[in-house]
């Protein structure tokens, strides 16, 4: 009885299927179902697996994973005239935003070092010129976190 589909041991595995298997193994390890050496062996095999059947063998002796249920959507918050101020939602992810600020801090250190060397060589403190580029960059970072990248800022 061949309906034109290949058996699972001959169907190539996708990255998403490998990732799902890795999550399943991690859950089993955290629950104490696998020893560390078993877990590490299976993770290595999962990463090198080519076929779906190879992935299934790695989790056959583990309980089935429950399907992920999407989080329910929260109802919109009614706006009241006297309500407390709420911070706007960031239009960029938290990790992207912190990465941008790390770059800003690194450049701030470099520019401040250049300013200090110039001040030392001239024998007097020169005006702190890094404030201008760093201030503009910081303002852009804050604005990009508040307003979406496309279109105009929301009306105030």
Residue 152 has pLDDT above 70, yes or no: no
Torsion of the alpha carbons at 77, 78, 84 and 86, rounded to the nearest 10: 40
Q: Over range 33-59, report the average pLDDT.
A: 90
The mean pLDDT value of the chain amounts to 79
Q: Over range 53-58, report the average pLDDT.
A: 90
DSSP state string for 19-86: HHHHHHHHHHHHTTSS-HHHHHHHHHHHHH--BHHHHHHHHTTSPPPPPPPPPPPPPPPPP-TTPPP-
* Per-residue model confidence as pLDDT tens digits over 70-123: 666 666 655 555 556 555 555 556 777 788 888 889 899 999 999 999 999 999
Least confident of 31-40, 47-56, 77-86, 97-106: 77-86
Residue 19 has pLDDT above 50, yes or no: yes
Nearest Cα residue to 9 out of 43, 48, 54: 54
Residue 59 has pLDDT above 70, yes or no: yes
- Ordered by start, the domain boundaries in the chain are 9-59, 94-146
């Amino acid at each position: 009885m061949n309906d034109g589909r290949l058996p699972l041991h001959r169907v190539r595995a996708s990255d998403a299927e490998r990732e799902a298997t890795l999550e399943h193994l991690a859950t089993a390890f955290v629950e104490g179902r696998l020893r560390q050496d078993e877990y590490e062996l299976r993770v290595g095999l999962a990463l090198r697996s080519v076929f779906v059947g190879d992935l299934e063998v790695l989790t056959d002796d583990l309980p089935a994973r429950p399907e992920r249920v999407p989080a329910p959507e929260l109802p919109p918050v009614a706006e009241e005239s006297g309500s407390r101020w709420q911070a706007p939602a960031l239009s960029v992810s938290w990790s992207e935003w912190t990465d941008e600020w790390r770059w800003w801090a690194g450049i701030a250190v470099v520019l401040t070092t250049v300013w200090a060397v110039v001040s030392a060589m001239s024998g007097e403190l020169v005006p702190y010129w890094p404030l201008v580029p760093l201030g503009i960059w910081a303002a852009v970072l804050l604005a990009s976190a508040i307003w979406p990248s496309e279109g105009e800022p929301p009306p105030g």
